[in-house]
Homo-oligomer: A and B are copies of this chain.
Amino acid sequence: MPSRTPSTPTPSSPEQMNPSVWTRPRGGREQPALSRDQIVAEALRLLDSEGIDALSMRKLGNRLGAGATSLYRHVANKDELIELAVDEIYGEIEVPDTADPARWREDAARCAHSLRATMLRHPWIASVLGQMGLSYLGPNYMRISEAMLSVFTTAGFPPEEADQAMATVIAYVTGMATSEAAWLTVLARSGQNEEEWIERLYPAAEQAAQAYPHLREGLAGQRGKNPRTAREEGFQYGLDRVLDGLATRVN
């Protein structure tokens, strides 16, 4: 027989029974203590510090001093909670509040960099994008789309093409940032820093690239570079090309 506390109710709840009314720590409910905003905020803290796999309703409940199922009074289910968290994150993305036709390129670039930076600050969203998509219809997503659309339309893109241009930039940035975020996640799990990891894996990579001359050359060319700035330069290069391509349609 396993030494477990008896699962049969034992009617007058066992250990949390205070010996007397007089020592009971304050009658009544402490606080409301649970609200949707508070839940989302704590979920964000958990996600940012431990990643998406660490987010469970039980753990989140504990952190809030509540049981897991209490959360369901304020949130329909875990997916909805994550969707709320994602839109909350979108709130950090900076977009221009007025569109200047002469500055469309800088404005778009600024949006792109802000989007990337936000994703890298919260790498767990990369895992979410592939499951829920971009969570359209969230208030912050709509705010951002409107601003970016406005940048492209005032730049001279006809409405339908402005849509496509925005989608192009967003796809490039999310694609790049997703791969960076996944990399950072793997890294964080391993407890090593970027340089250590690369150095450790270099022999394996070199061997795997044996038969592929271009890969070998690329590998050798990156050796010893600061990986962080290399990532930033790579992002900037692609962004410049995307904007170059868009510029041909409007200049």
Contact = CB atoms under 8 A, between A and B. Distances in A.
B137 A205 contact: yes
Interface stretch (A2-10, A30-38, A64-72, A123-131): A123-131
Contact of A182 (B129, B163, B242): B129
A238 B168 contact: yes
A35 to B, nearest CB: 23
Contact of A234 (B129, B167, B214, B237): B167
Contacts of A125: 130
B244 A248 contact: yes
Interface string A176-217: 101101110110000000000000000011001100111101
Contacts of A222: 163
A165 B241 contact: yes
Interface in A130-182: 130-134, 136-137, 139, 142-143, 145-146, 149-150, 153, 159-165, 167-168, 170-176, 178-179, 181-182
Contact of A212 (B142, B159, B178): B142
Nearest to A221: B160
Contact of A128 (B128, B130, B139, B170): B130
A132 B126 CA distance: 10
Interface of A: 52, 125-134, 136-137, 139, 142-143, 145-146, 149-150, 153, 159-165, 167-168, 170-176, 178-179, 181-183, 185-186, 204-205, 208-209, 212-215, 217-218, 221-222, 233-234, 237-238, 240-246, 248-249
A11 B215 CA distance: 55
A232 to B, nearest CB: 12
A146 B243 CA distance: 26
Given A129-B178, A178-B175, A182-B133, A164 B238 contact: yes
Contacts of A153: 214
A99 B57 CA distance: 52
Contacts of A126: 129-131
A84 to B, nearest CB: 15
